[in-house]
């Protein structure tokens, strides 16, 4: 004959072990879901990240094409500008556009930069022959530090690199 007795201490111990096991399973399941979510966010960041390299014409054209713009192969204008030490209202408003596209000109106050201007051929509402829509790239040390898409018309516009 076999006698088996269960004390309350044994019940508590077994209940505690089962509870730990269930808790471990729940934590593992939650962490896997969170890991998958984090992975998908990282993939999204990688696919949405912009390459700001612009040390030569090929890199500048590649930068522009990241936003879906088609431009003339050669720039329409290249000039040097100096970012002012103190921003007036115009530069504050222009820098607000830059901040929307992860650029900030405040770090380049007093610096001499180049502005490369290209004519956009595929701006919505304009024909390919129109030369009034342009993209300006501000480049310092081979990197795009800012810029805009604008129209040279009297009632023109200016916005970030992205199509609006």
Kindly write down the DSSP assignment for every residue of 61-107, as one continuous string.
HHHHHTTT--B-SS-SEEEEEE--SS--HHHHHHHHHHHHTT--GGG
User: What pLDDT does residue 44 have?
Assistant: 41
Average model confidence (pLDDT) across the chain: 85
The pLDDT of 116-135, averaged and rounded, is 92
Higher pLDDT, 47 or 72: 72
User: What pLDDT does residue 98 have?
Assistant: 96
The CA-based angle 2-3-7, given to 5 degrees, is 150
Is residue 37 over pLDDT 90?
no
User: What pLDDT does residue 131 have?
Assistant: 85
Is residue 2 over pLDDT 90?
no
Is residue 38 over pLDDT 80?
no
User: What pLDDT does residue 100 have?
Assistant: 95
CA distance between the termini of the chain: 85
Please state, in angstroms and rounded to a whole number, the distance separating the CA atoms of residues 155 and 163.
18
Please state, in angstroms and rounded to a whole number, the distance separating the CA atoms of residues 51 and 30.
35
């Amino acid at each position: 004959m076999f006698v088996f007795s269960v004390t309350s201490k044994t019940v508590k111990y077994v209940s505690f072990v089962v509870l730990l096991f269930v808790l471990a399973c729940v934590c593992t399941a939650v962490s896997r879901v969170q890991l998958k979510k984090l992975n998908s966010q990282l993939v999204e960041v990688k696919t949405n990240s912009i390459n700001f390299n612009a040390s030569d014409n090929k890199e500048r054209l590649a930068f522009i094409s990241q936003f879906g713009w088609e431009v003339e192969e050669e720039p329409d204008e290249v000039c040097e500008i100096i970012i002012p030490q103190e921003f007036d209202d115009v530069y504050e408003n222009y820098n607000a556009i830059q901040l929307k596209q992860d650029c900030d000109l405040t770090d380049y106050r007093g610096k001499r930069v180049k502005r490369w201007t290209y004519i956009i051929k595929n701006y919505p509402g304009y024909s390919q022959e129109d030369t009034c829509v342009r993209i300006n790239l501000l480049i310092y040390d081979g990197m795009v530090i800012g810029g805009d898409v604008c129209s040279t018309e009297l009632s023109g516009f200016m916005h970030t690199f992205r199509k609006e």
